[in-house]
Amino acid sequence: MDADAWRAQVKEQAIDPGLPIIDTHHHIWPVAPFPGYEAYDDTALINDVMGSGHAIVATIAVEAHASYRPEGPAALRPVGETEHAQALAKRVRREGGRAAGICAAIVAHADLWLGAGVEAVLDAHRAAAPERLRGIRHMAAWDADLRSGVQSAPGMLADPAFREGFARLARHNLSFDAWVVHSQLGEVVDLARAFPSTQIILDHAGGPIGVGRFAGRPAESFAEWRAALAPLARCDNVAVKLGGLNISVTGLGAMGAARPRGSEEMAALHRDHILAAIDLFGPERAMFESNFPVDRMSGPYDVLWNGFKRITAGFTAAERAAMFAGTARRIYRIAAGEERQPA
């Protein structure tokens, strides 16, 4: 059974289809950048957004090592990914319809280990997407129990060269998306305290580890993750993305299962982490993400958003409006004109 047929085993109608959603984290890769992943091109993204039944009014494209320039200085090749997202954003805005808010904001990659040399890269990203560039991500996830990251190394967030590059973000009015796992959350606390004027957005709920030494020990993993997340939540310049819990590191995904999980089952598995993160950060600093196409390996787009809506059913309308769109709108500075108007 191919991946599309596997996902098609579970079909659901959108819950609360009028609730505006900004999908704060997705990738676009016409060719999968890592082994084991599916390609996810512009058409696949558009089909998910338009076909989900949910009111996806905008999305945020996050760097993923894809669509790089094939030539030129290595440091500037990631600008190709920004150019791709910018071109898609302009096309769907021009065409209108339910896809009109795709790539309303862009989080690009720049090698912060370049230190002061990263200035030229930031300028190039800005030139490629002057109205949509909002942040930078340099993937930092690393743990001895995990395979080495593409761009990461142990202790990198404290490295002087990395911090010299990081210091350039504030002067460019750019945020930083932090992709780490929970054993590194203390390092993010140190970074946030050292750069209080830089907005940090913690990806994937802080990367709870459910494999390696935590395999078969979910309660211990959860307790350690929550304890590490609490001091980070006390840093006013940090927000958290709610999602990304289907990735392999968490042990909470459905990759390799006979069928995808429905939204009720997914909600039951992810509820504790999502609610704990909301409790620590508050709805005003928490925002939902699809993390597609990575989380697509565990189920369809519509089912994922139904799961999030089930988890938050007990919150007030204002709290849900913040977590599904308002927080992202404020932190990523998404202009009203970049969102589509829900039907």
Distance of CA 153 to the CA centre of its chain: 20
d(CA 332, CA 104): 10
State the DSSP code for 65. Answer: S
More confident residue, 336 or 133: 133
pLDDT at 148 over 80: no
Give residue 309's pLDDT band: very low, low, confident or very high (50, 70, 90): very high
What tokens were used for 184? 């590194």
Q: Provide mean pLDDT across the span 267-291.
A: 98
Q: Is residue 134 part of a domain?
A: yes
Q: Which residues in the chain belong to E strands, given as ranges?
A: 20-26, 55-62, 105-109, 133-137, 175-178, 200-202, 238-242, 286-288
How many Cβ atoms are within 10 Å of 15's Cβ, its own excluded?
A: 17
pLDDT at 339 over 80: yes
What is the structure's pLDDT at 256? Answer: 86
Contact residues for 268 (Cβ-Cβ < 8 A; gap 6+): none
What's the full length of the chain, in residues? 343
What is the structure's pLDDT at 149? Answer: 60
Q: Looking at residue 206, which CATH number applies to its domain?
A: 3.20.20.140
User: Judging by beta carbons within 10 Å of its beta carbon (0-12, 13-18, 19+), is residue 69 exposed, middle or buried?
Assistant: middle
Q: Is residue 290 part of a domain?
A: yes
First to last CA, the chain: 36
Give residue 40's pLDDT band: very low, low, confident or very high (50, 70, 90): very high
Q: Is residue 162 part of a domain?
A: yes
Range of the domain at 241: 3-338
pLDDT at 202 over 90: yes
Q: Is residue 56 part of a domain?
A: yes
Q: Is residue 259 part of a domain?
A: yes
Residue whose tokens read 């709870």: 208
Q: Is residue 343 part of a domain?
A: no
Looking at 51-60, 221-230, 264-273, 333-342, which range is the least confident one?
Answer: 333-342
What is the structure's pLDDT at 192? Answer: 98
Name the residue among 32, 61, 40, 36 with its Cα closest to residue 136.
Answer: 61
The number of distinct structural domains making up the chain is 1
Residue 260 near residue 10, CB atoms below 8 Å = yes
pLDDT at 136 over 80: yes
Give residue 20's pLDDT band: very low, low, confident or very high (50, 70, 90): very high
| Phi/psi of residue 60, nearest 5 degrees | -120, 120
* Per-residue 3-state assignment (H helix, E strand, C coil) for 130-177: CCCEEEEECCCCCCCCCCCCCCCCCCHHHCHHHHHHHCHHHHCCCEEE
d(CA 74, CA 308): 39
pLDDT in tens, 67-110: 999 999 999 999 999 999 999 999 999 999 999 999 999 999 99
What is the structure's pLDDT at 335? Answer: 85
Name the residue among 257, 273, 282, 280 with its Cα closest to residue 308.
Answer: 273
pLDDT at 153 over 90: no
Q: 0.95 cut: is pTM over it?
A: yes
Give residue 35's pLDDT band: very low, low, confident or very high (50, 70, 90): confident
What is the structure's pLDDT at 337? Answer: 81
Residue 246 near residue 293, CB atoms below 8 Å = no
pLDDT at 342 over 70: no
What is the structure's pLDDT at 301? Answer: 98
State the DSSP code for 262. Answer: P
